[in-house]
Structure 1
Amino acid sequence: MKKILLAIDGSETSLKALEKAIEIAKVFDSKVVIMSVVYEQPIYPMPGAIIPPDLAETRKETLNILLDSTRKMTKHLKEKFTQNKVETREVVGRPSDEILKEVNSGDYDLVILGSRGLTGVKRVLLGTVSGKVANNSEVSVLIVK
């Protein structure tokens, strides 16, 4: 296992995935890429709705704040690894799509991510990032609960 993608969102299960990634990377002396995706919720205005002109600027400012916070988080998590072969990536987009784009273009051997823990109707209606990644990844996926 030469290269591992660790998808992190700061949740409790993703921090458990971090611990598992540290363990596996240590055993196999793997390179690890810590990835976090900031989800920018699309705006779907009602027909005829008036969108305030400053909304785009406010969204951009908010996105920059979220990206800065995400960079700080991944930098902090990177320090938990003892080996030097760790990189971070922070991107904007739909989490499952961005993770799959990275996995399928990055020569990875394994993806590690936490489960979100949705159950029942929410799981059927919303799906999960981990489920979408597991079902569409070209490499093995380890989902940590």
Structure 2
Amino acid sequence: MELTIRKILLATDFSKNAWQALRYAAALAVQNKASVVCLHVLPEIPKELSYSGGPNLLYGYGPGYSGVPMSGRRSKDGKHSDPASSEGRERAEELARDHIRSLIMKLKAESREAVVKPEDSLIRIGNPVESILHQVENGDYDLVVMGRRGHGSLRGPRTGGVALGVVSRSSTPVLVVGTPKS
């Protein structure tokens, strides 16, 4: 059996584990002369749970993780964006792309070769497991790389639900990366 890695899907949620996964994907891409496609999946926010209809589920999530709720960010016209609105989704996608660009710049600063490019990043909205598996099935990938555990609230040596869902259902090999012990 010949092991050939030409195209890697990096699934990221911007967590510490996902940062380590990005570093592994970049190193593997250099070693194998492979390309890397970066995928971030934003959760679909039902109107009933949105900024205007109830609790803000985007606070502390993904690119808004800096502590500023994504719905609290102002749109171009100075108003707050409701994450369930099309404007809110567009703003969330824009923030995710900006975050991917900043991670790639951080990776380049570590003297890694430029194998991960912002233009090869994908932002999807939906269920993370289903979206990752859909991309794997339709993208001709040789390997999926992702963090062991994301922003979930459970502590301890557990593997997150998204990683377990992808590993258990993917026909493509999956490398699950944890955060190194410090």
> What TM-score bracket applies, with the shorter chain setting the length?
0.7 to 0.9
RMSD: 2.6
> What is residue 135 of structure 2 aligned with on the other side?
102
TM-score, structure 2 normalization: 0.64
Amino acid at match of 1:72: D
Secondary structure of the structure 2 residue equivalent to 1:4 = strand
> What is residue 67 of structure 1 aligned with on the other side?
93
Secondary structure of the structure 2 residue equivalent to 1:63 = helix
- 1:71-125 C-alpha deviation (Å, 9 max, x unpaired): 11122334436245641111111111100000011110000000117469x98xx
8 Å CA contact 1:111–1:142 kept in 2: the answer is yes
Secondary structure of the structure 2 residue equivalent to 1:96 = helix
In 2: Cα distance, 1:92 partner to 1:143 partner: 22
TM-score, structure 1 normalization: 0.78
Secondary structure of the structure 1 residue equivalent to 2:95 = helix
The alignment covers a number of residue pairs equal to 132
Q: Which has the higher helix share?
A: 1
Structure 2: where are the runs of 5+ without partners? 55-80
> 1:118-129 to 2 correspondence within 5 Å?
118=154, 128-129=161-162
1:40 and 2:44 are equivalent in the alignment: yes
- 1:28-47 C-alpha deviation (Å, 9 max, x unpaired): 010110010111133568xx
Amino acid at match of 1:4: I
- 1:118-137 C-alpha deviation (Å, 9 max, x unpaired): 469x98xxx60010000111
Q: Which moved more, 1:74-83 or 1:104-113?
A: 74-83
In 2: Cα distance, 1:72 partner to 1:98 partner: 20
In 1: Cα distance, 2:99 partner to 2:36 partner: 16
State the percentage of identical aligned residues.
Answer: 32
Secondary structure of the structure 2 residue equivalent to 1:41 = coil
Q: Which moved more, 1:10-19 or 1:111-120?
A: 111-120
Structure 1: where are the runs of 5+ without partners? 46-50
